[in-house]
Amino acid sequence: MKNITVIGVGYVGLVTGACFADLGNRVVAIDINEMRIENLKRGIMPIYEPGLKEIVERNVKAERLSFTTDYLEALRDAEFVFICVGTPEGVDGEADLKYVRMAAESIAKVMDHEMIIVNKSTVPVGTGDWVANIIREHQPRPIPFAVVSCPEFLREGSAVRDFFNPDRTVLGSMDREAANKVAQLHLPLRAPIVITDLRTAEMIKYASNAFLATRISFINEIANICEALGADVKEVVQGMGYDKRIGHHFLEPGVGYGGSCFPKDVKALAYMAQVHGTNPELLHAVMGINQMQRKQIVIKLQDLLGDLSGKIIALLGLAFKENTDDIRVSPALEIAEMLHDLGAIVRGYDPAAMAHVARAYPFVQLAADPYDLAQGCDAVVVATPWNEFKALDMERIGAAMRQKVIVDGRNLYDPERLKALGFIYRGVGRGYNGALNSHNG
Ligand code: NAD
Ligand code: UGA
């Protein structure tokens, strides 16, 4: 059993804290957001993440997990301090490190014994050294400490499963002994552990996210070519994927990647590259294709419905992906904004994200369920591929609509089946099975 402090109770911090507690450690989680901490003390989760509530409850009950807003209390017995605060997009795409700076200063001010600071936030290369300097500057007296980078690779929606089944653990430090101690914490997870230097570990995180984003933009580009040439991208992926060097995973074309990570991390990597004199051409193309992919949905709607002003467009799914309530950089909501700007009436439904949408996007008219959503609308856009949308009664959906038009931004449905039900269907990259676009006449 180790004493662990986790700073930040968002997607990464709360999952990390609760899961390390579940492995038998004693974890204190701290956040500056008092409401989040108060709610957690009352068993109310700040985020929707499958399986997390049960783990939090179990470990609070076993007195292995507690919550506070007080740094002194949080660090009193800490051996390991995990920084899990946000690193949002700043000016010109540079990562904004203000929360990391605040966390480092707060740690330093109350530090009264040796500890290992483990950074899990996604941070620009060189941030580990910068954090060490901040801590040295703000310590009341010199106390030894080590900084280890331990980038996080979990996905929202499957964060608990990803924590317990990681593909690898990456650790970077100039202090091998400290890195080995952090490695020990991760041994129960039985994943390969890569130990390297601080900067390399920080770079592994950006390179991984940029590569995954590249796969998505690649397949979106192929999908657009498929549409123009009359091929079906789903079958193209199937055929490509059997090549072991390619694989079938992470090649779903759609509305482009969203979320709180890929968009900001690709930008931050491009920014770092440019500032250091290199020309990240591929990263710029990845970002350009991604933005265009949202616009393609609007262009398809215009092809099918003409002027969108006054048209009622229903968005099926609002979160940036399925199984989450997170709407940060949600493609669905970027499409909603474009439609709204064109004078369309935008309706929406999502199984988990509607409370957030109601606060941040008041122009989106929220529906009670997918059938209510379809009522009187001119087109349904499938924007988020929730499982529960797969088995909808499409006859009932069609009967409720004013025009039976579906733009399936996630290729959730079988084009032939929907056409047989009388829908006009447009998927992504389904040139042969779906309707051919205007280039093909
Ligand atoms: P989040 O916004 O969900 O949570 C961050 C939390 O940190 C908030 O609760 C906030 O109040 C708190 N916080 C901010 N400053 C603080 C301070 N000084 N002291 C204490 N608490 C503070 O963020 P997230 O999605 O968990 O992401 C955290 C980091 O992990 C980011 O760098 C992100 O890029 C990275 N990451 C995220 C994911 C993901 O799936 N969300 C996956 C891998 C890596
Ligand atoms: C992503 C990475 O997958 C994680 O490994 C990483 O830890 C995390 O970013 C991070 O650094 O924060 P996440 O953003 O939660 O995780 O979700 P993903 O499942 O990767 O999806 C990202 C976006 O890409 C979503 O909008 C999703 O719909 C889209 N996507 C994903 C596609 O369009 N096609 C795909 O084949 C896969």
Q: Which two tokens stand for residue 57?
A: 């409850």
Question: Does 109 lie in the same domain as 18?
Answer: yes
User: What is the arithmetic mean of pLDDT over 251-280?
Assistant: 97
Q: Are residues 287 and 427 in the same domain?
A: yes
Instruction: Dump pLDDT digits (tens) for 92-148.
Output: 999 999 999 999 999 999 999 999 999 999 999 999 999 999 999 999 999 999 999
| Smallest CA separation from ligand 1 atom 6, residue | 8
Expressed as residue numbers, the domain containing 355 is 212-439
Classify residue 205: in a domain, yes or no. no
Cα separation, 337 vs 360, in Å, equals 12
Contact 42, 35 (CB under 8 A): no
Going from the Cα of 434 to the center of ligand 1, the distance in angstroms, rounded, reads 41
**Ligand nearest to C-alpha 293:** 2
What's the confidence (pLDDT) of residue 223? 98
**Residue 392 per-residue DSSP state:** -
pLDDT tens readout for residues 271-298: 999 999 999 999 999 999 999 999 999 9
Q: What are the phi and psi torsion angles at 391 (to 5°)? A: -110, 30
**Which tens digit of pLDDT belongs to each residue from 343-371?**
999 999 999 999 999 999 999 999 999 99
Q: Is the pTM of this model over 0.85?
A: yes
Cβ proximity of 286 and 214 under 8 Å: yes
CB 339 within 8 A of CB 301: yes
Question: Which of these three, 196, 225, 252, is where a domain ends?
Answer: 196
Helix, strand, or coil here: 64? coil
Q: Is 261 a catalytic residue?
A: yes
Q: b/e string for 171-200 if b means 16 or more Cβ within 10 A? A: bbbebeebbebbbebbeeeeeebebbbbbe
What total number of domains does the chain contain?
A: 2
Atom of ligand 1 nearest to the CA of 12: 26
187 and 336 both lie in a single domain: no
| Token pair recorded at residue 156 | 């929202």
Residues 325 and 230 in one domain: yes
* Residue 201 covered by a domain: no
Residue 202 lies in a domain: no
Domain of residue 408, CATH code: 3.40.50.720
Other C-beta atoms closer than 10 Å to the C-beta of 440 total 11
- Tell whether 381 and 420 lie within a shared domain: yes
Could you tell me what percent of the chain has a pLDDT over 90?
A: 98
pLDDT-derived band at 432, boundaries 50, 70, 90: low
Specify if 74 maps to a domain.
Answer: yes
Contact between 382 and 316 under an 8 Å Cβ cutoff? The reply is: yes
259 CA distance to ligand 2 centroid (A)? 7
pLDDT tens digits, 173-219: 999 999 999 999 999 999 999 999 999 999 999 999 999 999 999 99
Residue 436 has pLDDT above 70, yes or no: no
Q: What is the pLDDT of residue 46?
A: 95
* Protein residue closest via CA to atom 37 of ligand 1: 12
Domain boundary among 172, 196, 220: 196
- What is the rounded distance in angstroms from the CA atom of residue 292 to the CA atom of residue 128? 35
Cβ pair 123, 100 in contact under 8 A: yes
Three-class SS of residue 418? helix
Those residues whose C-beta lies under 8 Å from the C-beta of residue 337, and which sit 6 or more positions away, are: 361
Question: Could you give the CA distance from residue 437 to residue 432 in angstroms, rounded to a whole number?
Answer: 10
Nearest CA to ligand 1 atom 28: 86
- C-alpha–C-alpha distance, residues 258 and 196, integer Å: 30
Q: What is the pLDDT of residue 438?
A: 43
| Assigned domain for 247 exists | yes
Q: Is residue 392 part of a domain?
A: yes
103 and 140, same domain (yes or no): yes
- Paired with 345 in beta bridges are 312
Q: pLDDT per residue over 117-129, tens digit each?
A: 999 999 999 999 9
Task: Determine what percent of the chain is predicted with pLDDT higher than 70.
Answer: 98
| Residues in the ligand 2 pocket, defined by CB under 6 Å | 122, 152-156, 209, 212, 216, 250-252, 254, 257-259, 261-262, 320-321
Ligand 1 touching residue 339 (CB < 6 A): no
Residue at a domain's end among 144, 165, 196: 196
Place of tokens 């014994």: 113
Helix (H) or strand (E) holding 43: none
- One of 19, 84, 150, 261 is an active-site residue; which one? 261
| pLDDT surpassing 90 at residue 36 | yes
Does 85 sit in the ligand 1 pocket, CB within 6 Å?
yes
| Rounded Cα–Cα distance for residues 118 and 175 (Å) | 12
pLDDT at 431 (0 to 100): 77
Res 49 pLDDT > 80: yes
